[in-house]
Structure 1
């Protein structure tokens, strides 16, 4: 079980993620469920892709692929506490995304100065 959470995705300091996202250098993905988004909001300007859909919409070969997700572009994920975002990072790495970062939880995004959309 612990092999699922190998740390191939680096943790990115939340403040750095916020700054890079603001400059357009980083795609931010919230992998929490919609009920969590409704309760707290999400990263302004980021994407909301529940973890269960991430593999489909991130795969350029899949018919449901989101064009905003480009394997050559840096991405950073967050969830509630960091576990699901780490699993999402592993998925993206297996799909060929070269630069994948784990922000941790939504609280980390907020503590780093990230704007919230409700």
Structure 2
């Protein structure tokens, strides 16, 4: 659907400007799957929601009450380097999210010109 989202993991960088517009418009959900301490130390991609990988099944399963992730909206995930976000993308797909993209790491986001903001609860 969104040609600026890359399927799987590749050498291409995400189009941070296009992603930021989609996030701001509510047409894309960006999830940081790192741990809280990592987000506190290095910040978050602007517009991202922090949901650590270990909490995805609790917070994002549409079959569970209190699911924090809307259905039918594309999802992009990132972590520190891309490994955990790959696992998160697989987990979300198994839960029924059709459009899930692994952006890699926070460094990939920043290198593509994406803004990184301090983490606040």
Does TM-score exceed 0.5, indicating one fold?
A: yes
User: Equivalent residue for 1:26?
Assistant: 28
Q: CA deviation at 1:21?
A: 3.2
Aligned counterparts, 1:1-118, within 5 A: 10-11=8-9, 13-23=12-22, 24=25, 25-66=27-68, 69-118=69-118
Unaligned runs of 5+ in 1: 1-8
- 8 Å CA contact retained: 1:21, 1:28: no
In 2, distance between residues paired with 1:17 and 1:98? Answer: 21
- 8 Å CA contact retained: 2:71, 2:97: yes
Q: CA deviation at 1:18?
A: 4.3
User: Equivalent residue for 2:3?
Assistant: none
Q: 1:17-44: CA deviations, max 9, x gaps?
A: 5413323332110000011001100011
4+ residue runs of structure 1 moved beyond 6 angstroms? none
Q: CA RMSD in A?
A: 1.7
- 8 Å CA contact retained: 1:28, 1:46: yes
Unaligned runs of 5+ in 2: 1-6
Q: Choose between structure 1 and 2: higher helix proportion.
A: 1
In 2, distance between residues paired with 1:96 and 1:46? Answer: 21
